[in-house]
A and B are shown apart, each in its own frame.
Chain A
Amino acid sequence: MTDSMEKLAAGDRIELTFPARGDLIVLARLVTSAISARAGFDIEELEDLRLAVGELCLLTLQGHDSRYGDLRLELSVLDDAIGVQCTLEHAAPGGETQPDEDESAFLSQQILDALVDEHGRESQDGSVRTWLRKRRGVHDA
């Protein structure tokens, strides 16, 4: 992180909303990298978070027809951690199943288990919410 980079502090919160398309998940990863660096995470943690947030988005989209939905990403800077919440809104269950999808979902869970301190997923009334939390300065993967 360069000296000229504006730092983020506990309590700061950033939101990003984009059409719920897989090819746009790269936007979530890019924003996560930028925010993590400004929140004081080191390069290894930043890479872990970039991967983890991509997986979080994939798990949010899983099993839903997201053609008309939006994916909302909220990153919250905490005292010693970062919290990320991903919400899929206005999407219907179903959609096209990709080959290897079950395998990929299992691998997503494994990646999140290894890289973040806690994560979860809940679905209710056509909306899906996933979240993760990762502490700063903890290298256990």
Chain B
Amino acid sequence: MDQEFQIEEKTAGTLPVVAVSGEIDVATAPQLRECLHRVIADGGSTIVLDILGVTFLDSTALGVLVGALKRCRELGGDLHIVAADPRIVKIFEITGLTNVFTITDSLQAAGAS
């Protein structure tokens, strides 16, 4: 385990930002799901998910992100992913999710500055 899993909720401009660090896997993904669902329930139809500090993610994490994206889009919003680590971006690429999510390499590019 490289780094302890942590979630932080903040706001950048008008957008809610959820910043995650550490490993997102079957053990920690439920915490992320709960957090994203809470932000959506609080009215955040468009969310910026900052995973710049994430060192590992698996299919369980991706499933949570896809589920949250569907909820956001049902409300007319979106889920923007901020990721820069090539190992993390590669997981989105090999699963075809780069065509599904808007992925940028900085919070500024995601409109959350």
Query: Which A positions have Cβ atoms within 8 angstroms of B?
Result: 22-23, 25-26, 29-30, 47, 50-51, 54-55, 58, 98-101, 103-105, 107-108, 110-111, 114-115, 141
Partner of B25, one of A47, A54, A103, A114: A54
Q: Is the CB of B25 within 8 A of A25?
A: yes
Nearest B residue to A107 via CB reads B59
A-B contact pairs, 13 of them (CB 8 A): A22-B25, A26-B25, A47-B87, A50-B56, A51-B58, A58-B58, A58-B60, A99-B67, A101-B63, A104-B59, A104-B62, A110-B95, A114-B95
Q: How many residues of B contact A (CB 8 A)?
A: 22
Contacts of B27 in A (CB 8 A): 22-23, 25-26
CB of B41 closer than 8 Å to a CB of A = no
Report the minimal beta-carbon distance from A30 to chain B, rounded to whole angstroms. Answer: 8
